[in-house]
């Protein structure tokens, strides 16, 4: 065992107190180890990028890195759950560690696009192995974009050892997307009221609920970052009038950057819970001056569920 890896995991022996042998969490992941919490790459791919419903998520590294971030979160979509069905990897082997993996990456990218001809968007992630040997993925991406002509590809260079937790991956993805992609696509505006929903990953379908509420209030969602979201809609985030931020820990960065660069205000909401959801709808309604619409949605939902909630409250 590599000594540094002993900090990441501990097997409790009979009679031992777990509080005395807790694994170290706030330390950088050692490449090749299975740590007690997700690595930085995982924070970029599993939490944010992998949620998109129309994008090939290609992991440049050993196949284990792809498998570890596949099918472990419940974020459905309205297109048959494309993002949950497939995982893509360059499947790096020992020979590629020795001689380089850039040719392997290009081959994998072209094969992925060929297998899914209707998908024209891709994200490519580095991992510990490819970062340690110095594979330069951006020139490879440019080659593929030039060769195919009708694809758009985003690179995420955040190997597992880049930080002490998933949070580093959140930050790298947010800032990279803001720098490279926001402002490169013009969305169709269909409402005088437009928002980005940020930090909502459609866990068990909560994004669908939010979409329903916004539709009833006459508000257009420009982009979901990233629940049930699309690659190109995220490129058009600069056209929203308001950023509605749910999970500030994973996506507050891009909300702040949108405010700095485009002057888009940010409000924080919590849509998980009956009273919190009411508060969030009222905040959004007040911003646009359509409080009556927010109250109408709230009244409809209260009438639908309040008696059911009362049953549980009586028994708590």
CA distance 129 to 212: 43
* Number of CB atoms found within 10 A of residue 164's CB: 17
Tokens standing for residue 134: 């110095």
Whether residue 173 sits in one domain with residue 118: yes
> 251 vs 37, which has greater pLDDT?
251
Which domain-ending residue is among 157, 180, 203?
A: 180
Q: Quote the pLDDT of residue 29.
A: 74
Whether residue 238 sits in one domain with residue 133: no
Whether residue 211 sits in one domain with residue 166: no
Q: Quote the pLDDT of residue 165.
A: 86
Tokens standing for residue 108: 């994998």
Tens digits of per-residue pLDDT, 47-81?
999 999 999 999 999 999 999 888 778 899 999 99
pLDDT above 90: residue 2: no
CA distance 74 to 228: 11
Whether residue 243 sits in one domain with residue 209: yes
Give the pairing of strands 194-200 and 220-226: parallel
Whether residue 131 sits in one domain with residue 15: yes
- The pLDDT-based confidence of 31 (bands split at 50, 70, 90) is confident
Whether residue 153 sits in one domain with residue 205: no
Residue 220 lies in domain: 194-315
Contacts of 46 (CB under 8 A, 6+ apart): 38, 69, 72, 73, 166
Which domain-ending residue is among 147, 180, 213?
A: 180
Query: Could you tell me the pTM of the whole model?
Result: 0.92
Q: Quote the pLDDT of residue 35.
A: 58
Give domain status of residue 300, yes or no: yes
**CA-atom Rg of the chain in angstroms:** 22
- The pLDDT-based confidence of 216 (bands split at 50, 70, 90) is very high
- Of 110, 132, 141, the residue nearest 65 (C-alpha): 132
Paired residues of 153 in beta bridges: 122
Q: Quote the pLDDT of residue 9.
A: 67
pLDDT above 60: residue 36: no
Q: Quote the pLDDT of residue 17.
A: 79
CA distance 74 to 111: 27
Mean pLDDT of 196-217: 96
Give domain status of residue 189, yes or no: no
* Number of CB atoms found within 10 A of residue 27's CB: 13
Q: What percent of the chain has pLDDT over 90?
A: 81
Whether residue 159 sits in one domain with residue 242: no
Whether residue 207 sits in one domain with residue 124: no
Whether residue 309 sits in one domain with residue 201: yes
Distances 286 to 193, 209, 281 between C-alpha atoms, Å: 12, 20, 9
CA distance 227 to 53: 8
Q: Quote the pLDDT of residue 27.
A: 75
Tens digits of per-residue pLDDT, 241-294?
999 999 999 999 999 999 999 999 999 999 888 899 999 999 999 999 999 999
Classify the C-alpha dihedral 152-158-159-160 as positive or negative: negative
Tens digits of per-residue pLDDT, 122-171?
999 999 999 999 999 999 999 999 999 999 999 999 999 998 889 999 99
pLDDT above 90: residue 8: no
Give domain status of residue 188, yes or no: no
- The pLDDT-based confidence of 1 (bands split at 50, 70, 90) is low
CATH code, domain carrying 212 = 3.40.50.1980
Whether residue 249 sits in one domain with residue 128: no
Tens digits of per-residue pLDDT, 84-128?
999 999 999 999 999 999 999 999 999 999 999 999 999 999 999
Whether residue 294 sits in one domain with residue 199: yes
Which domain-ending residue is among 180, 203, 225?
A: 180
Give domain status of residue 187, yes or no: no
Comparing 15-29, 216-230, 238-252, which segment has the lowest mean pLDDT?
A: 15-29
Q: Domains in the chain: how many in total? A: 2
Report CA 92 to chain centroid distance, whole Å. Answer: 24
Whether residue 154 sits in one domain with residue 59: yes
Give domain status of residue 200, yes or no: yes
């Amino acid at each position: 065992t590599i000594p540094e890896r002993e900090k990441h995991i501990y097997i409790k022996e009979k009679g031992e107190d777990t509080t005395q042998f807790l694994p170290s969490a706030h330390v950088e992941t050692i490449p090749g180890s299975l740590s007690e919490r997700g690595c930085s790459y995982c924070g970029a791919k599993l939490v944010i990028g992998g949620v998109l419903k129309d994008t090939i998520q290609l992991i440049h590294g050993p196949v284990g890195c792809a498998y570890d971030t596949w099918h472990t979160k419940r974020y459905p979509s309205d297109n048959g759950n494309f993002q949950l069905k497939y995982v893509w990897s360059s499947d790096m082997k020992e020979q590629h560690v020795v001689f380089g993996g850039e040719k392997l990456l290009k081959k994998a990218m072209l094969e992925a696009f060929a297998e899914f001809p209707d998908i024209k968007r891709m994200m490519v992630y580095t991992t510990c192995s490819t970062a340690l040997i110095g594979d330069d993925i951006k020139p490879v991406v440019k080659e593929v974009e030039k060769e195919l002509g009708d694809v758009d590809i985003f690179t995420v260079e955040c190997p597992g050892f880049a930080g002490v937790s998933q949070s580093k991956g959140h930050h790298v993805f947010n800032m990279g997307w803001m720098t490279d992609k926001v402002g490169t696509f013009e969305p169709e505006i269909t409402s005088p009221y437009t928002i980005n929903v940020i930090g909502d990953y459609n866990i068990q379908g909560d994004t669908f609920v939010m979409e329903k509420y916004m539709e009833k209030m006459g508000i257009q969602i420009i982009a979901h970052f990233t629940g049930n979201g699309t690659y190109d809609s995220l490129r058009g985030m600069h056209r929203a009038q308001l950023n509605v931020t749910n999970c500030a820990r994973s996506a507050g960065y891009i909300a702040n950057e949108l405010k700095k660069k485009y002057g888009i205000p940010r409000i924080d909401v919590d849509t998980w819970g009956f009273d919190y959801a009411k508060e969030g709808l009222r905040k959004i309604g007040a911003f646009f001056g359509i409080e009556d619409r927010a109250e109408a949605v709230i009244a409809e939902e209260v009438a639908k569920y309040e008696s059911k909630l009362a049953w549980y409250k009586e028994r708590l």
